[in-house]
Amino acid sequence: MSAALRKAPLVVPLLLVVLFLALRTDSFLSGGNIENVLVNAAIVAVPGLAMTFCLAMGEFDLSVGSTVSLAAVVCCSAIIDGVPVLLAMLLALLAGALIGLVNGMVVTKLGVTPFIATLATLVIVRGLALAYTDGHDQIVSSPALKYLVGGRPLGVPMPILLAVLATALAWWSINRTRFGRWVCAVGSNREAARVSGLPVDRIRIAIYVLVGTAGGFWGLLIASQLQKGNGQLGLGFELDAITVVVLGGTALLGGRASVLGTVLAAVLIETIRNGLNLLNTPPAYQRISVGLLLIAALALLGLRRRVTAGPATVPAAVKEAVV
Amino acid sequence: MSTDTQTPKPARSAPASRADRAGRPTLGKLWDTWGITAILALLLAATPLVAPDFLEFSNLQSVLRESAYLGIVAAGMTFAIASGAFDLSVGGQLALVSVVTLIGYSAGGTALAVAAAVATGLACGLVNAGLITGLRVPPFVATLGTLFVFRGVAYILTQDGPKTLPYDQIGSPFVKIGGLNVAGIPLPFVIMLVVYGAAWLLLRRTATGRRILSYGSSPAAARFCGISETRIRIFVFALVGVSVGIAALTYITRVWTADGSAQDGFELKVIAAVVLGGTSLKGGKGTLIGTFSAVLLVSVLNDMLVSQGVPSAYQRIVLGCVLIVALTIDGLRTRFAAPGSFRRALSVLVQRPSPVDGA
Amino acid sequence: MRKMGLLPIALAAALVMAGCSDSNATDPKTAGKDDKVVVGFSVYDMQYEFFQKMEAGTRAAATAKGWEFKLHDEKSDENEMVTGAQALIDQGVDVLIISPFKPSALGPIIAKAKAKGVPVIVDDIGGGGAPYDAIVISDNAGGGKLAADYMVKQIAANNKTSKNVASITCEPSAVYAARRNAGFKEAIEKAGFKVVAELSGNSKAEEGYKVMKDILAKNPDVAGVFSCNDPMGVAAANAIKDAGKNPVTDIVSVGFNADPEAITAIKAGGLAATVAQDPKAMGELTVKLAEQAIKKQAITFSNPAEREVFNPVALITKENADTVK
Amino acid sequence: MTADNTSPEDPPLLHVDRLTVEFPGVRALDGVHFDVRGGEVHALVGENGAGKSTLLKVLGGLHRPSAGEVRLGGQPYRPRRPADALHAGIAVIYQEFNLYPDLTVAENVYSGREPYGRFSRGIRYAEINRRSAELFGILGVHIDPAATVDSLTVSEQQLVEIAKALSVDGRIIVMDEPTAALSADEATRLLDVVRRLRSEGRSVVYVSHRLDEVFAVADRVTVLRDGRHVRTAALADTDPDELVRLMVGRDIAAAAPRAGVAGDEVVLDLAGVSAGRQLRDVSLTVRAGEIVGIGGVAGAGQPEVSQVIFGALPITAGTMTFDGAPYRPGSPADAMAAGIGFLHEDRKAAGLLPDLSVRDNLTISVLGRLRHALTRLLSPAAQAGVFADYRNRLAIRTTGPDQLIGQLSGGNQQKVLLGRALAPGGRLLILNEPTRGVDIGAKFEIHQLINELTADGAAVLMISSDLPELLGISDRVYVLAGGQVVGHLTGADLTEENVIMCATTERRIFSPAGV
């Protein structure tokens, strides 16, 4: 039990929040609401999982929010132009992958720090989405696209099903496969990875493509919900994705990943958001709650580290800086 | 080859060959400090052709006045980044400080407003520092969290509507901060120049500045030099807070209003300017000259794009590309030319893959 | 080393010098006294269709009068708003029309305009208490009331007995848009309904969708929902559809603005109604007021205390959706 | 000793011919010849900066030569990246660790070569854990293959590096200073492993500063100096004195004579000091003018003792006295203020300030007194003065005060850090591994300097894993094991055998004359 808690410390605050909401509201525990929370959590968890890989590698991708917008625009305008829906969705994913590829190339081949490179693409990609649509909504009415969030294969909402699959895949991949371990190896000590003969640049590019594709997928989910795409979607989503990963306990310095932590963090944040709405809380307090949660979680982590860790001995392998 | 044929050859003098390795100021070193300034100069040289209106006096004043608040915070942020951390909360700080400053002004006039700005900025910085040193939260997360919190507090304070400088206060000395010119130079820009002068002295000519750079270069080594991590962190984040406090004065007296949403995304602009200037995100290096020029570069570029009627979507694309190109030059340099030459970088660009980085 | 510190200062000084030498050449005052009237329009954000239409209306009306038209895009940023609008004044416009991103930041702009004798006409959003010459404004509270009246009627037509409705607001800083929700609330409560949920979707479609889902979980019996803008209104209607209900006959969904997506949705039965502002007409009206201001003619205000000129709002439902351009 | 399985006439397995490696402005290798036969241990020696590491990096695929050729088994060998070298059967253990602290030992050992399931794509952990354990068995140590590397001691990490190279099953194994972080016992076992590799017909390129190891294990030796080949000889045909002469290009004495005279005044006294689980009941004394050594196997608590004294590690029991007064530093700053200079054992990770100039690196410990009295601003002149002073005194070879410290050779870096420790002018100097990774010439100079300091009345506490150094210049030696003092050797007792005995067995030796 304590070992499980150490692996997923977010379970405690999650249970407390659930207990509180169950007592204070009469609608929180209704089946519809739980499903509502889980669907919202699933939607942010999937890109969060991709971002988990990125942070485990010791890097960031800030361009996700704009990718969401561009992917939604690509998908919807393709549908408007008569492209079959499946193909349109594929195009959107490709657009996301392409942005990831550009990020990866700029970071690896041109040597620009990821923070700045993806900050630049964040600005550029949103510019592209706005320029392409000229500020107009790309409105569709597509049941096929709707199926992505509204479908219920086996009676389970599609996003939840996809998130469960993605979680299992991500967990297996990062903890048990060569690729996942290589990602952590690069995050742990990039120079060593190079000397050990790992294809470091290809691994990094692959991760950016993964995050880009996940961003594209996020865009599809949003487009599916709203049945439209435009240049204003996804504002600030990059910080949402990074927040769930960091709150989930994945180290910012790379080398380690907590897949379950990311998923739990997504559920926790969405539960709190939903709870505050059920309690009719003014929006100002919602922002503060996420900030405080983040600080509290990391402060607990820091305090625990200080208590359990011995004196500051210098690790033999010098970690690369955050960026 | 037989076992013991070679007899010692007369060796070249070792110190001489080592001296070649890194003596004179190289192109790379010069780029570190002056690269972005050179680009700015080029851009300015091109303005008469591209945007003749730019050189109108009132426009220059406007650009300089408008650069000040970004520039002042960027000066503070240069210290944070040189120490190996960055402060993501400056956007929230700017909103909160501005709101509190306006509350202070309505309560006690100019003096109280100025005191409130600096004190609130300092308090925000100390909150960050406390989380980082006291609770051991990594700076990235701590300041990401306080970004939400500071903005949230600013929202709560402005639930009844944005705080505003009433129009009838137009003659007050406080409002003059943003609008006055000193010998034709806008006061906010004068304040920015003073801030940069002081910051330059602090970074280059004080023990504290050395210690900040040392800590950024190697926290472990700095510890054994008797440098206190706690004191560096507190100093640096307090400094960022105070810089936001000063910046807020030049901001709020120009814009006259603030609420929780003021300057959304400000933190990324500031960090981008500092990095564009040549300060490394890895810590240990900091160039205020670069930051200064980068701030002006962004402002000038923005003004030219706006005045030429470039739609905002394309403005974004241009600014993003400038960021990537500038950092690419920097990245190529630090990557290929550690001892200081572009030759290998060029050869690498021609014949892939590079000898330095295989895969 | 010492030189390094001075160079940027020298550079800045040179910049200012360069400016000095040029400043005599084009004195804004002389530019302003050309025969041709120059009108500056500082627009909220050209990314939004609403403001694109407003810009089109303003530009067309100004060009029709033979004026020169200068545009500035505030890009939803109060700093850019102040800087750019002041730059227009510096460039010597004869009249400034502005749809302010932050009305409370109008002060410094109007102060500068007053100093140069340039009249200022505010287009929509709000006046922020500054001494502008006139403000053309949609009747936000009146629009909210229109929405409420329609909702009451439609709920009755739907044969719903629930007296619960919901209201989705814009971001907390948008105080003028908040008047829509306030007007709605006042009118619908007068009709005996209760606003059981008033939550913010921060003007964003994504959040409007989520918030509506939360409202449905909390109060499944709501009979209507009013959203402060159309992106949230259409998103909320989508959320209602995804929950298996009808946004017209089950939960009466009303938006605000008459954006194309709202019109499309209303025609398809995916939204009950929206409150139309006519940004194009507002733009045209500001140019008319601008001319009066330049000629120092008296302006007839709808609300003289605040120097407001109302541009009427209209309710758009399936019946009249085709009339919206 | 000699390799019987190949005759000198056979074509060498690896043949390096007229190899030149240029970096912008530097020629790191200049027409170097070098060859390795099958089943041979070939030692490569030379001072720091001689080009050894560059040669190894060419072999490992990290650098590409600008001229010359490398042939492997008669075929041209041109690795473009580290993976190519591994495929060709060349495994290199670099001097800098290349480990992932967050990953497990087994994952580190098999990084890039993990066996995995065909369908699940999952790594076969049982297999790599078992095989790693076998490798550690060969090395005679117990390291849990499932432990993460950041939980290991430095010497264990070195052993992981060695296991990594062994796991490649390569034809040629290249080791760069493999024993630098190992205890004497572990080093001995490593040499056995090297012999065993040779007996299996594999070749080893062995790079070391320790000539005793070279003579213990190698068949032939090649000396490099200033990027050039100086001589290749069978070990039987040369002796340590000749090698040292060839390496430095001049004659030097093996160890500096002891010049300091121990006084009676006690500078530092530790009584029953404990620090968590790392130090238990440590008592020791250092007098003015004395060099006191601390020895023991790696991980016995030597750096912890130094860190307790320097205020970097909190003390949980016992008392300390410094200069006759009770002393309890809360931080390194306190210790420096009290008058203690400190040199960290890990130059790269906790010594150098890599982005700063040599001047800043040296003066960082004394900035407080280089300020203008009125303005409180740093005085560039005063900084330059301090720097010039130590540059002359320590014979630091640098192009100027603004040179970045990373551009100096290891020995000169170490001198700068010594200067940093000396600059405050304290009464006690704590020197952790003062000559680790330093070439012979610089080592001699550093020893001389330590001697001079004690002659001036300073007290020195020196921690060294280099036994000849420890015994050569210390007046007395404390031996640690498991965080406790297990021996105190002076006079005739001060022998290599006694130190090893105390450090590795239950026997405790306390010289009567001491304390």
CATH code at B130? 1.10.3470
Question: D152 with D280, same domain?
Answer: no
Judged against a pLDDT cut of 80, whether residue C161 lies above it is answered with yes
Interacting residues of B194 by C-beta distance below 8 A, sequence separation 6+? none
Are B60 and C18 an interchain contact pair (Cβ–Cβ within 8 Å)?
A: yes
Q: What is the pLDDT of residue D357?
A: 92
pLDDT confidence band for D361 (50 / 70 / 90): very high
Q: With left for phi above 0 and alpha for psi between -120 and 50, is residue D177 left, alpha or beta?
A: left
Do the domain assignments include residue D96? no
Alpha-carbon span A269 to A287, nearest angstrom:
11
> In the complex, which subunits touch A with 3 or more CB pairs below 8 angstroms?
B, C, D
Nearest to A227 by CA among A283, A163, A147, A284: A147
Q: Which of B307-316, D226-235, D324-333 has the lowest mean pLDDT?
A: B307-316
Nearest to B286 by CA among B89, B143, B83: B83
pLDDT confidence band for C122 (50 / 70 / 90): very high
> Helices (DSSP H) in D81-207: which residue ranges?
82-87, 105-109, 125-139, 154-167, 184-199
Q: What is the CA radius of gyration of chain D?
A: 24
The whole-number average pLDDT for the span D396-422 is 88
Which of A25, A136, A276 is most worth mutating to test chain C (most C CB atoms within 10 A of its CB)? A136
For the stretch D231-267, pLDDT in tens is 999 999 998 888 878 877 655 445 555 655 667 789 9
Judged against a pLDDT cut of 80, whether residue C132 lies above it is answered with yes
Are C209 and A226 an interchain contact pair (Cβ–Cβ within 8 Å)?
A: yes
Do the domain assignments include residue D196? yes
Q: Which two tokens stand for residue A27?
A: 């609608």
Do the domain assignments include residue D239? yes
Alpha-carbon span D161 to A195, nearest angstrom:
12
Interacting residues of A47 by C-beta distance below 8 A, sequence separation 6+? A64, A211, A214, A215, A217, A218, A237, A241
Q: What is the pLDDT of residue A280?
A: 85
Q: What is the pLDDT of residue C4?
A: 42
For the stretch B164-219, pLDDT in tens is 888 888 888 998 888 888 888 999 999 999 999 999 999 999 999 999 999 999 99
3-state secondary structure of C185: helix
Ranked by mean pLDDT, the top range of A35-39, A243-247, C303-307 is A35-39
Nearest to A31 by CA among A42, A23, A39: A39
The amino acid that residue C258 corresponds to is: A
Planar angle of CA D501, D503, D508, nearest 5 degrees:
65
Q: Judging by DSSP bridges, how do beta strands D26-36 and D14-23 pair with one another?
A: antiparallel
The whole-number average pLDDT for the span B130-154 is 89
pLDDT confidence band for B9 (50 / 70 / 90): very low
The amino acid that residue A211 corresponds to is: V
Q: Which of C302-306, D227-231, D363-367 has the lowest mean pLDDT?
A: C302-306
Our CA-based measurement puts residue A151 at a distance from the nearest CA of chain D, in whole angstroms, of 29
Q: What is the pLDDT of residue A6?
A: 67
Three-state SS annotation for B270-322: HHHHHHHCCCCCCCCCCCHHHHHHHHHHHHHHHHHHHHCCCCHHHHHHHHHHH
Do the domain assignments include residue D409? no
Judged against a pLDDT cut of 90, whether residue B116 lies above it is answered with yes
- Which backbone phi and psi does D435 adopt, to 5 degrees? -120, 20
Q: Does B320 touch chain D (CB under 8 A)?
A: no
3-state secondary structure of D121: coil
Helices first, then strands: H and E counts in chain D: 17, 21
Q: What is the pLDDT of residue A215?
A: 97
pLDDT confidence band for D334 (50 / 70 / 90): very high
pLDDT confidence band for B13 (50 / 70 / 90): very low
pTM of the model: 0.85
3-state secondary structure of A136: coil
Q: Which two tokens stand for residue A254?
A: 């790379």
> Helices (DSSP H) in C24-67: which residue ranges?
28-32, 49-64
Our CA-based measurement puts residue D174 at a distance from the nearest CA of chain A, in whole angstroms, of 14
Q: What is the pLDDT of residue B59?
A: 83
The whole-number average pLDDT for the span C6-28 is 42
Q: What is the pLDDT of residue A303?
A: 60
* C:145-184 residues touching chain B, CB 8 A cutoff: 171-173, 175
* C:306-325 residues touching chain B, CB 8 A cutoff: none
Our CA-based measurement puts residue C8 at a distance from the nearest CA of chain B, in whole angstroms, of 7
Burial track A140-160 (b if 16+ CB lie within 10 A, e otherwise): bebeebbebbbbeeeeebbbb
Question: D190 with D317, same domain?
Answer: no
> Which among D24, D33, D226 is the nearest to B343, CB-wise?
D24
What are the distances in angstroms from CA C282 to CA B198, C98, C105, C132, D439?
Answer: 50, 12, 21, 16, 83
Do the domain assignments include residue D427? yes
Nearest to D209 by CA among D235, D238, D236, D178: D178
Domain count along chain B: 1
Judged against a pLDDT cut of 60, whether residue B352 lies above it is answered with no
Q: Does C194 touch chain B (CB under 8 A)?
A: no
Q: Does B358 touch chain D (CB under 8 A)?
A: yes
Judged against a pLDDT cut of 50, whether residue B21 lies above it is answered with no
Are B210 and D336 an interchain contact pair (Cβ–Cβ within 8 Å)?
A: no
Alpha-carbon span C309 to A252, nearest angstrom:
55
Q: What is the pLDDT of residue D410?
A: 79
Beta bridge partners of D295: D479
Judged against a pLDDT cut of 50, whether residue B346 lies above it is answered with no
Dihedral sign, Cα of residue D390, residue D396, residue D402, residue D408:
negative
Nearest to A182 by CA among A105, A255, A101, A261: A255
Q: What is the pLDDT of residue B338?
A: 40
Q: What is the pLDDT of residue A173?
A: 94
Q: What is the pLDDT of residue C82?
A: 92
pLDDT confidence band for A253 (50 / 70 / 90): confident
pLDDT confidence band for B236 (50 / 70 / 90): very high
Q: What is the pLDDT of residue C65?
A: 92
Are B255 and C15 an interchain contact pair (Cβ–Cβ within 8 Å)?
A: no
Our CA-based measurement puts residue C57 at a distance from the nearest CA of chain A, in whole angstroms, of 17
Out of D222, D248, D274, a domain closes at D248
For the stretch A216-238, pLDDT in tens is 999 999 999 999 999 989 988 99
- What structural domains does chain A harbor? 11-300 (1.10.3470)
Q: Which of B261-265, C198-202, D231-235 has the lowest mean pLDDT?
A: B261-265
Q: What is the CA radius of gyration of chain A?
A: 20
Query: Are the beta carbons of D254 and D466 closer than 8 angstroms?
Result: no
Q: What is the pLDDT of residue C167?
A: 96
Do the domain assignments include residue D95? no
Do the domain assignments include residue B341? no
The amino acid that residue B16 corresponds to is: A
> Which among B216, B226, B285 is the nearest to D333, CB-wise?
B226
The whole-number average pLDDT for the span A174-189 is 94
Nearest to B286 by CA among B208, B231, B342, B191: B208
pLDDT confidence band for C325 (50 / 70 / 90): low
pLDDT confidence band for B357 (50 / 70 / 90): very low
Are B1 and D35 an interchain contact pair (Cβ–Cβ within 8 Å)?
A: yes
Are C264 and A36 an interchain contact pair (Cβ–Cβ within 8 Å)?
A: no
Hunting for tokens 């398809």 — which residue is that? C268
The whole-number average pLDDT for the span C240-265 is 93
pLDDT confidence band for D375 (50 / 70 / 90): confident
For the stretch D119-176, pLDDT in tens is 888 999 999 999 999 999 988 889 999 999 988 887 889 899 999 999 988 899 999 9
The whole-number average pLDDT for the span A65-83 is 96
Domain count along chain D: 3
Do the domain assignments include residue B3? no
Q: Give yes or no for a cis peptide into B166 (omega within 30° of 0).
A: no
pLDDT confidence band for D356 (50 / 70 / 90): very high
The domain of B159 spans 27-45+53-334
- Cβ neighbours of A269 in B, within 8 Å: none
> In the complex, which subunits touch D with 3 or more CB pairs below 8 angstroms?
A, B
The domain of D138 spans 101-165
Q: Does A168 touch chain D (CB under 8 A)?
A: no
Alpha-carbon span D249 to D114, nearest angstrom:
46
Alpha-carbon span D97 to A319, nearest angstrom:
12
Do the domain assignments include residue B296? yes
Interacting residues of C25 by C-beta distance below 8 A, sequence separation 6+? none
Are D24 and B22 an interchain contact pair (Cβ–Cβ within 8 Å)?
A: no
pLDDT confidence band for D26 (50 / 70 / 90): low
Q: Does B171 touch chain D (CB under 8 A)?
A: no
Q: Which of C254-263, D208-217, D271-280 has the lowest mean pLDDT?
A: D208-217
Do the domain assignments include residue D301? yes
Q: What is the pLDDT of residue A46?
A: 96
Judged against a pLDDT cut of 90, whether residue A300 lies above it is answered with no
Are B56 and C72 an interchain contact pair (Cβ–Cβ within 8 Å)?
A: no
Crossing angle of the two packed helices A283-308 and A237-247, in degrees rounded to 10: 30
Q: With left for phi above 0 and alpha for psi between -120 and 50, is residue D207 left, alpha or beta?
A: beta
Q: What is the pLDDT of residue C124?
A: 86
Alpha-carbon span A291 to A297, nearest angstrom:
10
Alpha-carbon span D173 to D165, nearest angstrom:
7
**E strand map for D356-475:** 428-432, 459-463
What are the distances in angstroms from CA A77 to CA A74, A82, A136, A146, B142?
Answer: 5, 9, 11, 15, 40
Judged against a pLDDT cut of 70, whether residue B264 lies above it is answered with yes
The whole-number average pLDDT for the span D392-419 is 88
Judged against a pLDDT cut of 90, whether residue D1 lies above it is answered with no
Residue of C nearest to B263 (CA): C77
For CATH 3.40.50.2300, list the domain ranges present in chain C: 28-132+279-310, 140-277
Q: What is the pLDDT of residue B171?
A: 84
Q: Which of A6-10, B126-130, D222-226 has the lowest mean pLDDT?
A: A6-10
pLDDT confidence band for B347 (50 / 70 / 90): very low
Residue of A nearest to D117 (CA): A177
Residues in chain A: 323
Question: D80 with D222, same domain?
Answer: yes
Q: What is the pLDDT of residue C202?
A: 87
Alpha-carbon span D307 to A311, nearest angstrom:
10
Q: Which of A28-42, B127-141, B149-163, D489-503 has the lowest mean pLDDT?
A: D489-503
User: Where is A233: in which H helix or E strand?
Assistant: none
3-state secondary structure of D235: helix
Q: What is the pLDDT of residue A176?
A: 93
Q: Judging by DSSP bridges, how do beta strands C95-98 and C120-123 pair with one another?
A: parallel
Q: Which of A118-122, C124-128, D99-103 has the lowest mean pLDDT?
A: C124-128
Question: D63 with D210, same domain?
Answer: yes
Question: D439 with D337, same domain?
Answer: yes
Q: What is the pLDDT of residue B278?
A: 86
The whole-number average pLDDT for the span D290-303 is 86
- Which backbone phi and psi does D358 adopt, to 5 degrees? -60, -35
Q: What is the mean pLDDT of chain A?
A: 87
Neighbours of A83 (CB within 10 A): 16
- Cβ neighbours of A198 in D, within 8 Å: 83, 111-112
Residues in chain C: 325
Do the domain assignments include residue D358? no
Are D150 and A311 an interchain contact pair (Cβ–Cβ within 8 Å)?
A: no
Are B223 and D312 an interchain contact pair (Cβ–Cβ within 8 Å)?
A: yes
Architecture of the domain made up of C140-277: 3-Layer(aba) Sandwich (3.40)
- Give 3-state DSSP helix, strand, coil % of chain D, rounded to 5: 35, 25, 40
Are D333 and B227 an interchain contact pair (Cβ–Cβ within 8 Å)?
A: yes
Query: Chain B to chain D, count of Cβ pairs less than 8 Å apart?
Result: 166
3-state secondary structure of C140: helix
User: In CATH, which superfamily holds the domain spanning C28-132+279-310?
Assistant: Response regulator (3.40.50.2300)
> Which among A177, A196, A315 is the nearest to D150, CB-wise?
A315
* A:123-142 residues touching chain B, CB 8 A cutoff: 123-124, 126-128, 130-131, 134-135
Q: Which two tokens stand for residue B90?
A: 């400056």
Nearest to C313 by CA among C118, C179, C120: C179
Q: What is the mean pLDDT of chain B?
A: 82
pLDDT confidence band for D6 (50 / 70 / 90): very low
> Helices (DSSP H) in A151-308: which residue ranges?
158-176, 178-188, 190-195, 200-226, 237-247, 259-278, 283-308
